[in-house]
Amino acid sequence: MRAAALALSLLLTPTSATPVATPVDTDHFHHYVALGDSYASGPGIPTQNGTPPGCGRSSANYPGDLARWLRVAHFTDMSCGGATVPQMTTPQPTGNGTNPAQFDALRPDTDLVTLTIGGNDISFGEILTTCGTLGATDPTGTPCRDHYVVNGDDTLADRVNRLAPAIDRTLATIHSRSPRATIILVGYLRILPPSTGCWPQVPFAAGDTAYFDRTERALNQMLGTRARAAGAHFVNPYLFSITHDACQPADRRWVEPLRPANPAAPIHPNAAGMTAVAGLTWLATLGAR
């Protein structure tokens, strides 16, 4: 981890994560397919491109950065906001067009695949809405945790555990369709700190910020375990975003709060966060050789 942190620090400035020197890597990967949800697609980050527009796909998302750095001859970005595991194999209707099944882009000669998935499968959006709404009822308590933990059973932890077999099947299908591909499963940047939050930027009750953070860490841990079991590589941006969550100052954060100061969707990565994830994923491609 020290080597990765040092290499990443050479790529990024201390605050904004703007590349100091763009990595250039040629003649290794030739057909790169990017798969995943909004933490891959980059809604709200300029410049929005791709079809359908409803996917919120940015040319400055981490797959776009990575493709430019690798200078791949063929790059297909299938990522789409709101995607879940089923959308890997079935079309996804959006508010503005339909995204084809993401696996349709995989070919036998595909040699690099990145995937960010799982947040929507455990209903991150619902959790954020529920915690934000309940926060107003008991600002100093744990109303969201009390909502999801019933008779000692943590329903969000159960969601994470139930998702694991679907991640296994997803990785196995990628390998079967593109047997030559280096597969990199990419986790999630830290969204909220593990203790004190930042009301009203993110209106969680005082005790619920830590609960949400624990759920996110559990998701990333599960994804890493399943990636290693499948022989894939795992990138965990959380570890490198400890001081860059949505509660940090605008010039430092990699994830925006409910009212973004940097161009991005609320509670989503901004361009700096995407560049950081791209840098970590680029380092993973070096380790895959």
Q: Which of 137, 220, 155 is nearest to 185 (CA)?
A: 220
Tell me which of 38, 41, 79, 178 is the catalytic residue: 38
* 38 a catalytic residue: yes
Tell me which of 31, 233, 244, 268 is the catalytic residue: 268
Distance CA 59, CA 45 (A): 8
Q: What strands lie across the sheet with 31-36, from one edge to the other?
A: 74-77, 31-36, 112-116, 182-186, 233-235
227 touches 240 (CB < 8 A): no
233 touches 185 (CB < 8 A): yes
* 41 a catalytic residue: no
Which amino acid appears at position 171 of this protein? Answer: L
275 touches 65 (CB < 8 A): yes
Distance CA 9, CA 269 (A): 19
Helices (H) and strands (E) in the chain, counts: 8, 11
274 touches 56 (CB < 8 A): no
Structure-block tokens of residue 194:
């593990």
Max intra-chain CA distance, the chain? 57
In sequence order, which residues have a C-beta less than 8 Å from that of residue 23 and are 6 or more positions away? 11, 69, 279, 282
Catalytic residues: 38, 268
